Structure 1
Amino acid sequence: MKILFASLRAIAAIAIVVAITAQFLHTASLTTVYPLNFFGYFTNQSNIIAAMAFAISALFIFSKRAQPDWLIYLRALATVVMAIVGIVYNTILVNAGLDDSFNLQWSNDILHIWIPIYAVLDWALFGDRKKLPFDKLWVMLIYPVIWLVVVLIRGASDGWVPYPFLDPATGYASVAVYCLIISAVTILFGYAAYALSRVRVLKP
């Protein structure tokens, strides 16, 4: 069963790398690509986090080594941020223009639909993780908060923001509300991920 877990994670990691690379090259063929902008999207960063979590986990399993605690937290974070990507994109951003950054449809589907679904199923079904303590739920906020801070600094300095609802032009009160919502959703999804870490559906 462990080999199945590792194989699926390796495939998911490869799919992410292929999708992001293809989208980058496709966008570059149409217009000038600014890497800081392209990789500034929560979607791309979250998928990179997921690819790292899946690939490292697969390597530990294939090498028959126990997964360290930090990797379990990384996998939990990948689950949380990918769930957010899937829900936010498909409910709020699916019809929004994002500067031609997600215009390759099959790549877009992998990054916004299939990987979010897989990430949640992987965490919910595959029982190769320890129980995560709720008093360390704050760990899930580290990455989203850093991302928000960087986005707000860039929005105020060079005017670039990855998503319309974080644009300072809409008013800082509105942006603040969305930041609070993102933080609250992260904590909520993190709590769910921590709770699921106590469930064993498919045991290794």
Structure 2
Amino acid sequence: MTLPRAQFWHLLTAVVTIAAIALQLVLVIRGGQVLDEVEPPELGLRLARFIAYFTVQSNVLVAISAVTLARDPLRDGQGWRVLRLAGIVGITVTGLVHFVLLRPLLDLGGADWTADKLLHMVVPVLALIGWGVFGPRPRITRREVGLALLWPLAWLGVTLTVGGLSGWFPYPFLDHREDGAGAVAVTSLGVLVLFFALFSVASYLDRRLTPSPTTAAAD
């Protein structure tokens, strides 16, 4: 695929992702519904919890990488590679976990529903299509995989620690008071296995798929 097409897709992804994050942030500030919270806490705590969501973090990573790729579809660099890989795998996990574990728990309407679908469904689809079709690749080595893995591991550790101290968890399946610590351990292990699998798949496809994009003016 050519650079202009790649730029267009990455720009589209950036605009949609930033709009989705901004919409959710406005709803949080206004006291909108996030998951099953009925009585929102004070604003400072709402904002802290907003940032704590894996969904938000993965969307932010996608937004940053999409913005940089809209400017330069051939972008490269050690730190950027890690950010891009973490964002792609993270947003994939966001979509899968939402569809399997969270979607049945939600009863949203209006703008809350719109923000939820954008963050959990539309952005993952845009990001994955963009990575699969426009790359850039090859960009993944074992070093990038190892460094990118630090983010979900750190997020899980901090989330469980803070949740244990405060009593608030961003997702019900991480709350030991729901089904017990054993269930949380099993779920956490399952999510980590999913991460390892997705990082492996991404690394394999990065090597096997045709390098993209090209600098030609036409296909």
TM category (shorter chain) comes to 0.7 to 0.9
Q: What is the Cα deviation at residue 144 of structure 1?
A: 0.5
Matches within 5 A, 1:1-204: 1-30=2-31, 31=40, 32-33=42-43, 34-61=46-73, 66-97=75-106, 104-134=112-142, 136-169=144-177, 170-198=179-207, 199-200=209-210, 203-204=213-214
Q: TM-score, normalised by structure 1?
A: 0.87
- Distance change in 2, residues 1:149/1:45 (3 Å): same
- The alpha-carbon distance between structure 1 residues 66 and 119, as it changes in their structure 2 partners (threshold 3 A), is closer
Q: Give the secondary structure class of the aligned counterpart of 2:170.
A: coil
Moved more, 121-130 or 76-85: 121-130
Moved more, 130-139 or 39-48: 130-139
Q: Following superposition, which runs of at least 4 residues in structure 1 exceed 6 angstroms of deviation?
A: none
Provide the C-alpha distance between the structure 1 equivalents of 2:50 and 2:144, rounded to a whole number of angstroms.
31
Do 2:14 and 2:62's aligned partners in 1 also have CA atoms closer than 8 Å? yes
* CA separation of 1:191 and 1:125: change in aligned 2, threshold 3 A: same
Query: Residues of 1 paired with 2:142 and 2:61: CA distance?
Result: 22
Asked if the contact 1:134/1:191 (under 8 Å) is kept, the reply is no
Distance in 1 (CA, whole Å) between partners of 2:57 and 2:149 is 15
Contact 2:82 2:145 in 1 (8 A): no
Say if 1:5 and 1:58, in contact at 8 Å, map to a contact too: yes
In the aligned structure 2, how far is the partner of 1:92 from the partner of 1:66?
A: 35
What percentage of residue pairs aligned between the two structures are identical?
25
Offset of residue 68 of structure 1: 1.8
Cα deviation for residue 47 of structure 1 reads 0.3
Counterpart residue identity of residue 74, structure 1: L
Question: Shift in Å at residue 193 of structure 1?
Answer: 0.7
Aligned residues: 199
What is the distance in 1 between the residues matched to 2:22 and 2:135? 31
TM-score using structure 2 length: 0.81
Matched residues in 2 for 1:76 and 1:127: separation?
11
Pair 103,176 (structure 1): closer, same or farther in 2 beyond 3 Å = farther
User: Quick one: distance in 1 between partners of 2:135 and 2:165?
Assistant: 45
SS in 2 for 1:200: coil
Gaps of 5+ in 1: none
C-alpha deviation, 1:81, in angstroms: 0.8
CA separation of 1:59/1:136 partners in 2, compared to 1, >3 Å: closer, same or farther?
A: closer
Does the C-alpha gap of structure 1 residues 27 and 35 become closer, same or farther in structure 2, counting only changes over 3 Å?
closer
8 Å contact from structure 1 (residues 124, 201) kept in 2? no
Give distance in 2, aligned partners of 1:137 and 1:190. Answer: 6
Q: Tell which has more relative contact order, 1 or 2 (C-alpha 8 A, sep 6+).
A: 2
In the alignment, the residues of structure 1 paired with residue 185 and residue 78 of structure 2 have an alpha-carbon distance, to the nearest angstrom, of: 33
